[in-house]
Amino acid sequence: MKKHLLIISLCCLLFPNVFAQSAERVFTLDESISTGLKNNQKMLVLQEQISLAKQRINEARALTYPKIDFNFNISQFNNNMPTVLAPSFYSVYLPGDNKEQYYSTRFSLWQYLYAGGRYTTNLRVAEANLSSAESQYDVIKNEAVRDVKKSFYNFLVLSEKLKVYQDAIKAVDKKNKSYRSKLELKLLEVKHEYKKAKLDFLDIVGVELNTEIEIYGELKAPNDEYELSKCLAWAFEYRPELSETQFKEKIDSLRVNLSMTERYPTITLGANYEWVGDQFPLPEKNWSATINLNVPIFDGWASWARIKQRKLKVREGKIYRVEIEDKIRLEVRHAYLDYNYWRERMSGLESEKSTLVDTEKKLNNRIVWLDTIKDLLFSHAELEKAIGKPLSELK
């Protein structure tokens, strides 16, 4: 027994990694983004809204088709005079008589021939609502990709900081207790930040918070140069917020047209064919075909008030679009300035790194380098979000 315990103890000392708790998942940047997008709650809600908008298109399209009904009634009555049943029973005519069983079978057809474009406009509104929902989905996706990237880079930088401080503590002279205590305090702070960053990362990619993970990635500083004018042009081409405002303006304009159709006449076609009697085969057959014309004349100017409301909504949408455009211009300029600032800072740190000899200064330079590359990668992610598309696809 003692021999077995001795062997296990030696294995634990010689191969500690074998007995350490292994990671349940390993995340790269690409996998982090795909997992984060798949589990993003806002995107899942918008996927349902997109499905709902598609069904509303089907519903609006159905209104352009004729409506065909089949009705069958069995009645028992004792009438002194002819009676018509309530509309909920399809207004069936019952003769003035005493009947034990009276049957009525009817096919009916109903179709709008002309409604001033009301139903085609309804269909176009439903289609525009679908496009608007898809644009909202792209807005949330653009923000989610930015957030996942920043969380991943923050977690990766803190992982590197842990290694840097752990290696520095191992390398420091044991007699230098003051410097060693300082490094241990810094290591404690970084461990605390690392644990919080891990929780934030797990939350943003939608994984259980008690999951053991490792991340794999390279801290490579982007050094591409971009022109501000091109960045602004790309933003106005790819930002989904602009598409969303355009679709909302289109919806408001269509609703103006929809309100105006209330002033137009409507023409409706109706047809019925029925069999009635007290025994089968039903002896009496009736049919009818009707064209109805309805012309709205006066409704207390309610329709005109609705038209004015819709026109005011269109003007409100145009003002909102200008606000969005100004916001995008400002966002792109801020992100562009930050990216160039941190890129220049990174370049200066790289040149300073080669001249350092002192160990403590090298450690400080490494920590500053990690903080700087994190801010550089953050600013790059913000610039891509401001443009609405990965910069690697635009070069």
d(CA 28, CA 379): 20
3-state per-residue secondary structure call for the chain: CHHHHHHHHHHHHHCHHHHCCCCCEEECHHHHHHHHHHHCHHHHHHHHHHHHHHHHHHHHHHCCCCEEEEEEEEEEEECCCCEECCHHHCCCEECCCEEEEEEEEEEEEEEEEECCCHHHHHHHHHHHHHHHHHHHHHHHHHHHHHHHHHHHHHHHHHHHHHHHHHHHHHHCCCCCHHHHHHHHHHHHHHHHHHHHHHHHHHHHHCCCCCCCEEECCCCCCCCCCCCHHHHHHHHHHHCHHHHHHHHHHHHHHHHHHHHHHHHCCEEEEEEEEEEEECCCCCCEEEEEEEEEEECCCCCCCHHHHHHHHHHHHHHHHHHHHHHHHHHHHHHHHHHHHHHHHHHHHHHHHHHHHCCCCCHHHHHHHHHHHHHHHHHHHHHHHHHHHHHCCCHHHCC
The whole-number pLDDT of residue 1 equals 42
Question: pLDDT digits over 218-243, tens only?
Answer: 899 888 999 999 999 999 999 999 99
Instruction: Tell me the Ramachandran region of residue 277: left when phi exceeds 0, alpha when psi lies from -120 to 50, beta otherwise.
Output: left
Rank 72-86, 89-103, 128-142, 293-307 by mean pLDDT and report only the highest: 128-142
CA atoms within 13 A on the CB side of 94: 23
Structure tokens at 332: 């792109």
Q: Give φ, ψ of 72 to 5 degrees.
A: -135, 130
Whether the pLDDT of residue 38 is over 60: the answer is: yes
Question: pLDDT digits over 129-169, tens only?
Answer: 999 999 999 999 999 999 999 999 999 999 999 999 998 88
What value does the CA radius of gyration of the chain take, rounded to a whole number of Å?
Answer: 36
Mean pLDDT of 310-335: 94
CB within 8 Å of 146: residues ≥ 6 apart: 381, 382, 384, 385
Percentage, residues of the chain above pLDDT 70 = 92
d(CA 20, CA 22): 6
8 against 361, higher pLDDT: 361
Among 129, 155, 151, which Cα is nearest to 40's? 151
Structure tokens at 67: 């409506």
The whole-number pLDDT of residue 3 equals 46
Q: Which domains does the chain have, with CATH numbers?
A: 23-67+116-268+298-393 (1.20.1600.10)
Question: pLDDT digits over 179-215, tens only?
Answer: 888 889 999 999 999 999 999 999 999 999 999 999 9
